[in-house]
Every structure is written in C-alpha cells, then in structure tokens.
Structure 1
Amino acid sequence: MIRLRLAVVALSLMILAMVAGTPPSFAADKDVSAELESLDLEDLLQVEMVSPSERKQSLENIAGSYTILTEEDIKRSGARSVPEALRTVPGVVVTRTDTDKWSIGVRGFSGTFNSKQLILVDNRPITSPYFHGVIWSSQNLPIQQVKRIEVIRGPWTSLWGSESFNGVINVITKSAAEIQGNRSVTTAGTDGVSQYLRKGIHISENATMAVFAKGEYEPGKNYRIRGRTEKGSTDWTTGSGGFRADWLNAYTDQFSLQGQLAGSSITEYSPPGNPFSANKDKSDYSGYAQILWDRKTGARSGMQFRSSYTRTEITVSDMENMSNTVDAEFIYSNEQLDGHFLTFGIGGKYFWDEFSQGENVQVSNDSIYRLDFSGFAKDRITLIDEKLFLTLGLKLDYSGDSDLTPQPTARLLYMEDDEEYWLAYSYANRKPGFWLRDGNYRVRVRDKEYTMSVGEDLENEKLSSFEAGYRKLFSETLKLDLSLYLNSYDQMVTFSFDEDTNTATPVSGLSGTSYGLEVALDWQPWSFLTLRPSIDLSNQDFQNVPEGIPGFSPPLNSALYNIKLQALIDLAENWELDLFTSYLNSMDNKDLSTGFGFDARLAWQAREDLSLELIGNNLLTNVDENNFAPVEPSCTLRLTWDF
C-alpha cells in the first residue's frame, strides 16, 4: 500500500511538472481536424466508419431507451462529478448518501451497493466484481476529461450480458487530440476546493498525448436521514493523475493507451443507513491502464481489441480489500450484401481479491480468484430498406462457479420520416454477487442490530423485460422521446430475518413486476432558451419485501413519480443561466430522498480563454425530505483558464 501511495504522489508531481514545463504547441502543427478539413464530401463519408460494436457507434436509430449527455450538457449542468451529471437523466435516481458515497439507480432500484446496472468508463467495467457495485470514492475521474455519457435504460444483455440488468452507463472520455493545449480549472466554495491541470501535445504528425492531474478537498456536510440530522464523513481529500496517448494511421487504424492513478482519504462516520462506514480514518487507492486497437476493414466493417488492468484498495467499514482485474475483449463486425449487419465478440475477465478481515465486517475467505468468459453474436437485419430493422442477439456468460447462462435479446425498429417506433424483449440470468454469498457483517435494521450470515445455495436472479418506445422530431427545435417498460423479476435476493438469533440470511425469495413510463422533451421555443422537461412514472409490485435494508437495492414496492426540468438560457453574448429542478416522491414514503431540488448555474465567458461560473446546489430544499438529503445548500465558483 505504501508503494501505491508513493506511485500516486510521484505520478501527480511528474504530471504537474510536465504541465508547467512543456513548451506550448504551435499552430503549424498538423492535427487530425486540419486533415479532415482538406477532404471532400465523399472522403468524409468514408472516414465516418461504423464501429465494430454498438458500444461505440452513435446511439441514434436504435431500438432502445437512451439518453446521451454531451460535453456541453455536462458543463451546463454544473456537475463536478459523474454522479452529479447523471441527475438530469430521465429514469435515473441519484442520491448522495455520504460525502464520498453515491447511490445510483435505474428504473426503481437504488442503494450503495446497487448491482442492477453496469457502469463503464471507455467500455472498461468499473463495477466491482466482488461487491457488484461501484465504489465511487476510489474512481476520482475528473469531469473535465469526460466527452459524453451514454445512459441506456433497460437490459442490453446480448451486448453486455447479465450485468446490464436494468441498464448501462458508459462514460466516454476525450481523446488526446481533443484536449490539446493547457487548461486549468479551479473551484472554490462551501463544498471545498479543487484544482485540475491538463497538458496536451503533439508527439508526431499522427500521434497526440495528454496528461492531467487533479486534487480536491471537501470538508463534508450534514445529512437529513429519516427525519434526523446526522453528521456525514469529513475531510475528504482526493488526488489523481493520468495520461492518454492516441495514434491514427490513415484513418484505418487507431491505437490508444491510457491510465490513471488515484487516492483518497477521509474521516468516516457511520450514520444510520450507511452500515459499511466506520468511525475511523480510511484511505482508498486505485489505478488502471488500458490499451485499445481499432481497425477499419471496410466502409461498414471493422474489428476492435481492448484490454485493461485495474487495481483498487478500499476499506469497507473495518475490512480492507485489495482487488485486481484483468479483462480483454475482441469484437468484429461486417455488413453483408443481403441486408445483414453482423457483430460478434469474445471476452474474458480474471480477478483476484484479497481481504484483511475486520471485527465488524468479514468474508469467508481471505482471497478469491475467478475467471469469467463470454461471447456474443448480433445480427441487424434490414427487413425494409431504410425503414424496418430486426436485431437478434445472444450472449453466453460463463463464470468459474456457475453454469453457462444465455442472455438473448430481440429488437424491432421502424423508421418513417422523422418518427421511430421500437419494440424489444430481453432476458437476463445472473449469479448473485460474492458479497451476498460470502459476507458477514452487522447492520441495524428497523432500530435493531442483526448479523448478516452467508447466503447458501442462492439461485440465479432472472429478468424478463418487455419495452416499447416512440421518438419523433417535430422540428429542428422540438423532439419527443417516450418509453414504456414491463419487467418481470424472479428469484431475486432478499433477506430472511431470525428474531431469536438476530441474524439475517440472503435467500432467493423475491419476485415481482416493475412497470413504468418515461417521457422526455427537448424543446427550443426561442433561440436563447432550451427546455428539457421529463417525467418518470413507475410502479413496483413485489411480495415479501423487507423494509429498511440499508446499502442494498431492494425494490421500493410502491408507485414512484420523478419530474425533472432543465432550462438552458443564453442571457446575452457570453452569458449563460442554467436552471435544474426536480421533484421525486413515492406514494408511501419509502426509504428514498424524496422532495424538491433546485440547482442553478450562472456563467460568463470573459475571454476566449477564460470563463467564470457560479454554481448553486440544493437551493430551496427542505420540502418533505425523507432520507439522505443534504441539509445545507452549497455555492461553488469555477474558473476555467486556457493558457
């Protein structure tokens, strides 16, 4: 652990030195954008190659429910982290449960260790193989590095397998060519301070490289939890440094290498609802390296190879976990002459975890090793040229401790002028996470303490999902997106409580249905105003749902409505005002951050190379909060300088 700390510090210092000492690039350098400008229309159409997988190509014209947050969307949301940016997405519930902890749920499930969706960064899974959730405190991805965020609601099992149970969130970072030059982003406010530095340079005619570093400090704040004000964790200090290098050869081969080291420390408290916190100082560390090779073999065909290594060291209450993951995948696609667009791929993942047991939290084994394999095939069949498409897909997942599990999907898309209609069916079959089958810990439920025991003979969780949708572009300034879904769950993990022994055991005893409606508009009534209202209406009907299980992601088992409105206003030349308001409520006041939220951002572009933003969060709150709501509003000043 000491060596990893030294590596984090050394890399950060090296990057800061490079930012300060590297001479600026000159306009005479020939970059990719300049080369593209010299091409005619026919050549440009050839450059717009189709990716070997729907994981990289644009999500336009797909039979599914999706939202794409662009770089501009992320900036105008005022977000300082990926979870904050996701708050504006329809069908997504984001709750900050502590200073360094987030709960993100898609279509009705939420919790600190929510395992119901897959989260990726540049197609690299950041969901913990052991805990089946994302430990956000160990990620530390600077929001300034993010190019876009793709949110796909509903299971896409034929591409991503059973991990995409309720959806997929893919964070796409900027290439080195897109972050050339020097940039400094400084923030200061009631939530602390941060400093981000970036340097992008040309290595050669076709190669670019960028390095970055970021440090941040947050003092922490109090939270409203079940009607009481509780102290959150304090003194959260984070630091990260990373790089990316890209090489492009004649528009046929693209090679990328990227990596990051990050560390954080915090004085942790254990308020109700966060059973995996402890009253102690703790530190988390992480690092990864990824290599990507993308080759275009034809106008609509190509292949891609990606491999990464990820290491994290985290503390869960008083137990320390060191995790290593190596994964690799190969994808190939080819459009056949008879109207078939085939995509297939194979992949594998090997991870090993080691544990230093605690008194409050333990696992059955001091170390765990596992090798997983998967393969998928997908065919997009053109039934009517440029109008009707049928997509059939199947992924096979194999884990070292379970049988081969098929994950099929069928999707139908009809396009007519500016309208799209789609239908989809998906099936998911997934093994419960190691954490549920192997963990031992104590937790307070309904003001009574229980010891969680190992769950034995847990069955695979199963999901059958039916979806339908409609999209229409009424004009260049008005777009409608509507989705309906019905999910049937079976053999979901829940808990059996023994009042005599004060123990709780995971069992495969939960089944039920979830259905809902998502409606989103993108409307620009005037040139200076864009409105993005959305409404998410859902209902869950499950039997034998235990209440008050903190940290996990049980269904709410009630009706839920979530209303959001984002207003983007161009006040004047170089002035922007952005407002975001939301209202979330459940019909029977379940454990959820219900109530009204309001955020605002005022931005001034003082010069081409200098901008100033004033960001306010949690303004005008304290309306019927029930659980995990920040007590105080916050105000942040953000200064961006290109030099």
Structure 2
Amino acid sequence: MMKLKSCFCGITATALLALSEAAPMAYAAVANEYFDLDLNQLMNITITSVAKRDQQLVDAPAAVFVITQEDIRRSGVTTIPDALSMAPGIQVAQISASKWSISSRGFAGFTSNKLLVLIDGRSVYSPAYSGVFWDAQNTLLEDIDRIEVIRGPGGTLWGANAVNGVINIITKNAETTQGGLVRASFGGEGAWSLAGRYGGRLSETTFARLYLSADQFGGNRLAESEADGNDSWHPTQVGFRMDGRPDDDNEWTLQGDLYENEGDQWVIPYWTSSSPYYSTLDDDFDAKGGNILGRWRRELSPDQAITFKAYYDYNKRQDAVFNLEFSTLDLDLQYETPIGARQKLTMGTGYRSVQGDFDETYQVNLPDRNDSLYSVFIQDEINMVENRVWLTLGTKYEYNDYTGSEWQPSAKLLWKPAENHTLWGSVAHAVRTPSIVEQYGRVLMARYPVYMGGVYVGAGSLNFIGNQDYDSEEVNAYEFGYRWQALRNLSFDLALFYNDYDEVYTVFPEQSNLDVNSTFVNAQSGNGKGFELAMDWQPRTWLSFALAYSYLETDLTTEAWVGTQAGSDWVAKSAPKNQFSLRSSLALADDWRLNLWLRYVDQVSCRNTVNLLGDPVTIDDYYVFNANLIWSPSENLELMLAGQNLFDSGQLRYLSEYQTPATEVEPLVYGKITWRF
C-alpha cells in the first residue's frame, strides 16, 4: 500500500503543480452533453460495454440501459447504488446506511454474486466472497459520464462472474472537466457532503483533473423501533485523471483514486466461544485502498486499433468479522480489425494476479491466497445482409486456479427490418467461478449449548465450510429484444429472457461431534424468466417522462440428497417479481426545474443469522417517492432542494443474510449548492 500511495501522491503532486501553473480554460457550459439531446439522439449514444468497442446503443444486441450524467443530476441521488435504481431489471435495496443488495434478474443479497461491476473497465468484484463492497465505490458523481447497465450474460467479453449482468461506470475524459467545481450539501440526521474538483490543460495535447470528496451519511433506525441503527458512514476519497492525445493515432489515460471509508455497525448476532455465546457487538469498520489505471490506444487505420490497459488495485477492510487485504494486478491487450467489407473482429488476451491476505477472526477464517487468471477471447461481427442483419459470434477461454478451464461462448443476431425498428436475439453461456470462502473458508453461523439427558456436555457450532470440489455455477441464457423509435420524442425498449441455471450453490449439513458443518455444494438448478421495458417520452421540450418496468419469476430445485427445498424457495423469492419506476422532469422556467421520481418494489423474502433456522422474513412491497427543485440563477451556479423517501416515515427494504440487523430507511431532506468556475 505504501508503494501505491507514494506513486499516487507523486503523480498527484506533479499534476497539481502543472495545473496551478497552467492558465485555466474558460468555463464553457454547465449543462451535460446529454441535456439538449432529443430521444432519437439518445438512442444513438456511443457505448462500449456490449462489444468492448464503440457502437451505437441502437445497434447493441443486448439488454442495455444507459444512465447519463444528466439522469444522475436530475435524479438528486447521492450514491452510485441509488443511481442504479433507474435501470430496469436491476434490484437495488438498501440494507443499512452503507450496505446494499444489488442484483440483476434475481439472486439478491448482500453477497449478490452474479453481477460483474466495473469502473472504467476495472473490476471491483471481490474475490473473497464474490460480491461488491458498495461502500467503497465513491467515484465523484459529477465525474461520471454514463453508467452502462447490461442485463444478461457478458462472459464472452468480460469473463467469469458476468452471469446475470455487467455494470460499467464510465468517467469523463479530463478534457471535458476543465475549470473548477465546488459542491456542498447538508441534510437531516447530520448528513453532509463536500466535494471539489479542478481541471486544467497541462500541454496542447494533455488535460488533467483532481478531485476530493468527503461525505457523512446519518444512520438508519432499527426496524420497528425508534432506536438508532448505529450505522452512520463517513467515506473520503481523492483522485486524479490525465488524458492525452499526442497525435491523431494515439491516445492515453492515466487515473487513480485513494479512499478511506469509516462507519459504525451492529454485529448481530456476534458469536463468542463462551456462554451465553449469542451477543451483540457495537462495532465499527475501516476500509481503505487505492488504484491506479493506465490505458493506451493506437489507431492503426480507421477501423483497426490496438488497446493496452493495466491497473493495480489495493483494498483493506478491518472489523470484528472481516480482516482482509487484497492486491490485484490486471493486464489486458485488445486488437480490433475488419475482415473484408462486412466483418469486424475483436480479440484479446489478459492476465490477472490476485494476492489475498487474511487475519483470522472467531467468525471467519480464510487462508492467504495468491491466484492467477489467464484469458483469451475472440468475437466476430458479420454484416450478413448489408445494413440489415448482423450476426455476432464469440467465445472466451479462461484458466483459473479454482476450477481450471472455462469456456463462455455466445451468438447474437440483430435485424433492422425498417427504419427505427431493431430486433435482436442472443444465446449465451456464462459461469460464476468459486470464491475463496466457497472452496477454502470457514464462516461461523451459530454457537449453542448442547445438552444430553438434561446434562450440559459442551458447546456446538454451525459452520459454513469450504469445499475444494465446489465447481462453477452455470447459466445458459436466451434473450430477445425489440427497440422502436415510434416518434422523435417517443421510444420503447423491450427485453425478454429465459435463463437456465445449473450447479447453483447451496450448503449440505453434516453432523461432526457437537458441530454441524454445512459444506458448499453445487446442488441447485432451475430457471429465471421475465421481461423488462423502458420507455422515454418527451411530449414537450420542457417536459419528459422515463418509465421502467420489470417482471421476474425464478424457480429453483434442490437435489434430494441435500435434504431440504427451503433454501431454493428462499433464493427464488429474494428478488421482487414486479418493479416499476417513473421519472418526470418539468422545466418551470428557464432557470427552474422540478424533478419527480416514483418507484414501486414488490415484496421479497430474506433470511439472516438472527433467525437462521426459522422461516424467512417477508418484506412487504413499498413505494419510494423522491422530488427535487433545481434553481440555476446563472450558468455557473446551481441550487437544489431535494427530498428522498417522502411517502414513508421509515422503510425496511432488505435484510442482510449475515450479521446485520434490520434497519429502516428514513426520509431525508437536503439542500445542495454547486458552483462551477
């Protein structure tokens, strides 16, 4: 960490000195580039996550949704997880002030493990337990250019763990963030946020920016109680980005972040070695880390390019349950070339090294690991009928230290039968490889006294135990989509899917003396099916609506030898069947805008270690209503008054499966001022 910090600080100091000496560029405009686009232009936004190269949204044979910077600005969200609520098919449920359950097309939970999350192509998926620590993802919201949300497998290009979706958070080029920005907000429950950013020109071809942000999120309250949830959260982050284009054929990026993340938490239950075994711990967590990423791209011809990307990522987390430290080195080489007039070939290779160091706690024991991943992929887009029909074939091969060789092929067909109509279909195979805990770990789930004949004979434990024979989870996914630009101001995007799951994990309990050891096994199979609809309508230049709806059914079966179907039934109900979102933006005057957002989330079932052996907890369906009023007295100054969760005095939205008590999200009213110079 010291090497990374020294390198980061050296680069930051150099950039800061250069920026301070450079003449600041005149501030051009407050509005994001998407602000003035009509819906027809929005359908042609350039995206990169579906094909791992530039393509228009309308030409993507996948269920993809783009959250733009203007969407983020108008929504009034204060975190990246809240912004993801705008996408159809994505379940976002807040567990505590700093914890979320975020999943795509089912399999929800704090440890949601079938959704790959990237920031500028850098994976933030934790190898410890196959999920994302969302409290550590605090990229400055104003620096985000767009968030590309893909529902469905992305393993052919992005590799293992992109089973039910890929989220790629893409930040702005430094050239577009010149000048200064200061933002401050203050709200109820002691919540506040401060951020600053400055960008300048280092040379005729090189631009840079620096940013610093600090936030304080007030705690939730314990469910069905007025008591404080003891889960306040205080993240701080600093970062930089430099972009250069020395000539027409070459461009490069160098960027990095450092963060420190502190918060309070209850650990319930907190198991101890001595009676009474069950207790409650008033704890805090400390997470810190940093990353540095470099990217170089050379255009060999108008349709031919080579791209090299490398990053180093360091993360450390300490609390009463987890003491873990990860270092990741990732190298990626990609080549794009046409083959004749009707084929576009994209291929690449990659290497990743992950070093994990763990300090054992009474709750969790993981071995130190040093793992490697090797990969190659190839994808060919064939224009079968000129400007009408495209067939895309591809596959990715990976070799990992847990399951060995993995193949992830896909085939996609896109057809444009008429102007403004696009039909697409996809068949894909994807895998989720095991995490460290699933093959080598031990997690204490309960501790209890044991009596025989009324006589105390000792204490027993319920443990989740890793299994070195535990294999990858698999999905074969079938998708169909239709995009229709009905009018210049009205568009529809529909996706239907059927996912066939196999080798899904569960646990097999076995008695060992006084203990019950539940081993991770591949013993569930089943399917998930449903559809997602997104609609945009702009009836007037000053009025717009964005609607999103998703429907999901999941059916899982546990193999008979495991002994119970309860786990499958709970997992199937952990994600809502129905979700609905309606956003509206109304320009009241040239300098006033009113934004309204209504969400509906169907009921779900949850289970955690407080009631591990009891029935799952059913969380009722709920509505979320957010509103904000934006006043822009000048092009450089913006003031916002915002309210979140205004319909309800407190909502239980999800219950973590592991050692986090049920908390309710309370209403929040805050004011924000943003000044650009």
Instruction: Note if contact 2:148-2:168 (Cα within 8 Å) is conserved in structure 1.
Output: yes
Distance change (3 Å), C-alpha of 1:579 and 1:369: same
Note the alpha carbon deviations across 1:472-522, whole angstroms, 9 max, x for none: 001110000111000010110112345873443221111111000111110
Determine helix, strand or coil for the equivalent of 1:404.
strand
**Residue of structure 2 equivalent to 1:353:** 356
Distance change (3 Å), C-alpha of 1:269 and 1:559: closer
Structure 2 residue corresponding to 1:438, chosen from 429, 437, 440: 440
Q: Separation in 2 of the partners of 1:546 and 1:315?
A: 35
Q: Separation in 2 of the partners of 1:430 and 1:396?
A: 13
Deviates more, 1:163-172 or 1:523-532: 523-532
Question: CA shift at 1:459, angstroms?
Answer: 2.4
Instruction: Note if contact 1:52-1:331 (Cα within 8 Å) is conserved in structure 2.
Output: no
**Residue of structure 1 equivalent to 2:450:** none
Distance change (3 Å), C-alpha of 1:306 and 1:14: closer
Deviates more, 1:127-136 or 1:451-460: 451-460
Supply the AA of the counterpart residue of 2:595.
D
Instruction: Note if contact 1:53-1:333 (Cα within 8 Å) is conserved in structure 2.
Output: no
**Residue of structure 1 equivalent to 2:627:** 600
Question: CA shift at 1:81, angstroms?
Answer: 1.7
**Residue of structure 2 equivalent to 1:214:** 213
Say whether residues 1:254 and 2:256 are aligned partners. no
**Residue of structure 2 equivalent to 1:45:** none
Question: CA shift at 1:270, angstroms?
Answer: 2.4
Structure 1 residue corresponding to 2:171, chosen from 164, 170, 173: 173
Instruction: Note if contact 1:139-1:286 (Cα within 8 Å) is conserved in structure 2.
Output: no
Instruction: Note if contact 2:402-2:433 (Cα within 8 Å) is conserved in structure 1.
Output: no
**Residue of structure 1 equivalent to 2:112:** 114
Let me know the Cα RMSD of the aligned residues: 3.3
Distance change (3 Å), C-alpha of 1:433 and 1:195: same
Say whether residues 1:469 and 2:481 are aligned partners. yes
Q: Separation in 1 of the partners of 2:186 and 2:46?
A: 42
**Residue of structure 2 equivalent to 1:504:** 518
Q: Separation in 1 of the partners of 2:599 and 2:534?
A: 13
Question: CA shift at 1:626, angstroms?
Answer: 6.2
Supply the AA of the counterpart residue of 1:64.
A
Note the alpha carbon deviations across 1:142-172, whole angstroms, 9 max, x for none: 2122110000000022111222100100000
Structure 1 residue corresponding to 2:550, chosen from 536, 553, 568: 536
Instruction: Note if contact 1:548-1:591 (Cα within 8 Å) is conserved in structure 2.
Output: no
TM-score (norm 1): 0.88
**Residue of structure 1 equivalent to 2:596:** 579
Supply the AA of the counterpart residue of 1:513.
N
Deviates more, 1:348-357 or 1:155-164: 155-164
Q: Separation in 2 of the partners of 1:568 and 1:19?
A: 40
Note the alpha carbon deviations across 1:375-428, whole angstroms, 9 max, x for none: 100000111000000000010011023221110000000012100001100011
**Residue of structure 1 equivalent to 2:377:** 376
Structure 1 residue corresponding to 2:538, chosen from 512, 516, 524: 524
**Residue of structure 2 equivalent to 1:618:** 645
Note the alpha carbon deviations across 1:97-136, whole angstroms, 9 max, x for none: 1221121110112111211011000011111122211112
Q: Separation in 2 of the partners of 1:321 and 1:294?
A: 35
Determine helix, strand or coil for the equivalent of 1:357.
coil
Deviates more, 1:612-621 or 1:306-315: 612-621
Distance change (3 Å), C-alpha of 1:229 and 1:433: farther
**Residue of structure 2 equivalent to 1:156:** 154
Distance change (3 Å), C-alpha of 1:391 and 1:350: same
**Residue of structure 1 equivalent to 2:660:** none
Note the alpha carbon deviations across 1:269-320, whole angstroms, 9 max, x for none: 1257999x96322211010000000111122221110000000001254331
Q: Separation in 2 of the partners of 1:388 and 1:599?
A: 42
Q: Separation in 1 of the partners of 2:498 and 2:270?
A: 30
**Residue of structure 1 equivalent to 2:185:** 187
Q: Separation in 2 of the partners of 1:231 and 1:11?
A: 42
Note the alpha carbon deviations across 1:600-636, whole angstroms, 9 max, x for none: 1211112111100112111102698564563420012
Deviates more, 1:298-307 or 1:479-488: 298-307
Question: CA shift at 1:451, angstroms?
Answer: 2.3
Q: Separation in 2 of the partners of 1:249 and 1:20?
A: 18
Q: Separation in 2 of the partners of 1:558 and 1:168?
A: 18
Q: Separation in 2 of the partners of 1:24 and 1:273?
A: 57
Q: Give aligned-pair identity as a percent.
A: 27
Say whether residues 1:240 and 2:267 are aligned partners. no
Q: Which runs of 5+ in 2 are unaligned?
A: 29-44, 272-277, 448-459, 559-563, 607-616, 656-662
Distance change (3 Å), C-alpha of 1:15 and 1:236: farther
Q: Separation in 1 of the partners of 2:49 and 2:622?
A: 43
Q: Separation in 1 of the partners of 2:398 and 2:528?
A: 25
**Residue of structure 2 equivalent to 1:570:** 587
Determine helix, strand or coil for the equivalent of 1:483.
strand
Residues 414-493 of structure 1 aligned to structure 2 (within 5 Å): 414-415=415-416, 416-443=418-445, 450-493=462-505
Q: Separation in 1 of the partners of 2:175 and 2:250?
A: 15
Q: Separation in 2 of the partners of 1:271 and 1:471?
A: 47
Q: Separation in 1 of the partners of 2:319 and 2:565?
A: 23
Supply the AA of the counterpart residue of 2:400.
S
Determine helix, strand or coil for the equivalent of 2:404.
coil
**Residue of structure 2 equivalent to 1:38:** none
Instruction: Note if contact 1:437-1:456 (Cα within 8 Å) is conserved in structure 2.
Output: yes
**Residue of structure 1 equivalent to 2:72:** 74
Supply the AA of the counterpart residue of 2:300.
T
Instruction: Note if contact 1:580-1:598 (Cα within 8 Å) is conserved in structure 2.
Output: yes
Distance change (3 Å), C-alpha of 1:339 and 1:103: same
Structure 1 residue corresponding to 2:304, chosen from 295, 301, 305: 301
Supply the AA of the counterpart residue of 2:150.
I
Supply the AA of the counterpart residue of 1:640.
T
Q: Separation in 1 of the partners of 2:16 and 2:27?
A: 25
**Residue of structure 1 equivalent to 2:264:** 267
Distance change (3 Å), C-alpha of 1:141 and 1:278: farther
Question: CA shift at 1:556, angstroms?
Answer: 2.2
**Residue of structure 1 equivalent to 2:285:** 282
**Residue of structure 2 equivalent to 1:125:** 123
**Residue of structure 1 equivalent to 2:199:** 200
Q: Separation in 2 of the partners of 1:24 and 1:431?
A: 50
Supply the AA of the counterpart residue of 2:414.
L
Determine helix, strand or coil for the equivalent of 1:359.
coil
**Residue of structure 1 equivalent to 2:38:** none
